[in-house]
């Protein structure tokens, strides 16, 4: 009987320790990020590479929970109830639905980006000018008009008086870049930063005359405004340290863009 009682007491003590451990663990991984200092960031796909650098640089690294997608996809997710502390889109227009819904607490323009015409490794189609993308013998990829890179491409083409012939329509700039880098497309409209990031794959590009380079706004959501960790990250993101990282990745200043060759 004494052995049974000792076993029961030992099991009870272990259960108490286990419960306390679970409670602490659950508290540290809560969605409010108050335990681990985590911050949920929704970032446009053209930020895929640099947002990882930002994550590594901020407050010791690894504090960001990152969701990358096209700006329109990210906005749709937030409108459908997805939770994020900070959202960064590839143009100002993308945030309009969130502004109208009162889902944003504060926003600031971080940087700018210019569209370029990327061409496949080895330039098999001999792309030498913007007009080549409109040649019906050239396989050209472009973003859908519902996303920032698509709006930018349309702006450039209209200014030049050109129209693409049966282009491959993609849902994000990274999809366009993949088509070009793998040779599935001869040319594609991507951001300068994407083309620079793909230089190691053999992708080349032509700078374009973009009348109004895309400006990238970062917004602190209404939900994020109540999270001290998110507010601290947003302040850092809109400061000089993050600006230097963005510039190193090829982004232009908040009010301008690049038109120079690499």
Residue-wise pLDDT for 95-139, tens only, equals 999 999 999 999 999 999 999 999 999 999 999 999 999 999 999
pLDDT at 77 over 80: yes
Note whether residue 262 is domain-resident: no
Domain residues for the domain of 10 are 1-28
Q: How far apart are CA 241 and CA 238, in angstroms?
A: 8
Structure tokens at 105: 């607490």
Beta pairing class for 64-69 and 39-44: parallel
The stretch 148-177 carries a mean pLDDT of 96
Note whether residue 69 is domain-resident: yes
Residues 103 and 123 in one domain: no
Residues 227 and 195 in one domain: no
Residues 108 and 220 in one domain: yes
pLDDT at 6 over 80: no
Residues 189 and 222 in one domain: no
Note whether residue 45 is domain-resident: yes
Note whether residue 253 is domain-resident: no
Residues 122 and 194 in one domain: yes
Residue-wise pLDDT for 90-100, tens only, equals 999 999 999 99
Structure tokens at 2: 């004494």
Lowest mean pLDDT among 41-50, 161-170, 187-196, 205-214: 205-214
Give the angle 9-13-19 at the CA atoms, nearest 5°: 140
Residues 126 and 189 in one domain: yes
DSSP 70: -
Domain count, the chain: 3
Residues 128 and 194 in one domain: yes
Residues 233 and 108 in one domain: yes
Residues 107 and 119 in one domain: no
Contact 72, 147 (CB under 8 A): yes
Note whether residue 259 is domain-resident: no
The pLDDT score that the predictor gives to residue 256 is: 54
Residues 198 and 166 in one domain: yes
The pLDDT score that the predictor gives to residue 241 is: 97
Q: Mark which of 157, 181, 207 sits at the end of a domain.
A: 207
Note whether residue 34 is domain-resident: no
We report the CATH number of the domain holding residue 136 as 3.40.190.10
227 Cβ partners below 8 Å, 6+ apart? 32, 33, 34, 39, 85
Residues 108 and 123 in one domain: no
- pTM for the model stands at 0.82
Note whether residue 33 is domain-resident: no
The pLDDT score that the predictor gives to residue 55 is: 97
Note whether residue 165 is domain-resident: yes
Residues 133 and 203 in one domain: yes
């Amino acid at each position: 009987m004494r052995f049974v009682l000792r076993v029961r007491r030992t099991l009870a003590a272990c259960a108490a320790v286990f419960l306390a451990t679970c409670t602490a663990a659950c508290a540290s991984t809560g969605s409010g990020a108050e335990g681990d200092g985590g911050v949920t960031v929704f970032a446009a796909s053209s930020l895929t590479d640099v947002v990882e650098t930002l994550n590594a640089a901020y407050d010791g690294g690894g504090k960001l929970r990152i969701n990358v997608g096209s700006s329109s996809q990210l906005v749709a997710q937030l409108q459908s109830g997805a939770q994020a502390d900070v959202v960064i889109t590839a143009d100002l227009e993308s945030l309009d639905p969130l502004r109208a819904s009162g889902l944003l607490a504060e926003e600031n323009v971080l940087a700018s980006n210019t569209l370029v015409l990327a061409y496949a490794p080895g330039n098999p189609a001999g792309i030498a000018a913007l007009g080549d993308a409109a040649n019906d013998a050239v396989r050209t990829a472009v973003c859908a008009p519902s996303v920032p890179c698509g709006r930018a491409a349309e702006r450039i083409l209209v200014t030049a008086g050109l129209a693409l012939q049966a282009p491959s329509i993609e849902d994000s700039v990274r999809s366009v870049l993949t088509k070009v880098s793998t040779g599935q497309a001869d040319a594609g409209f991507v951001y300068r930063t994407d083309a620079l990031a793909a230089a190691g794959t053999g992708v080349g590009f032509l700078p374009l005359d973009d009348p109004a380079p895309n400006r990238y706004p970062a917004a602190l959501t209404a939900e994020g405004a109540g999270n001290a960790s998110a507010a601290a990250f947003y302040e850092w993101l809109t400061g000089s340290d993050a600006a230097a990282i963005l510039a190193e990745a090829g982004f232009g200043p908040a009010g301008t863009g690049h038109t120079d060759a690499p």
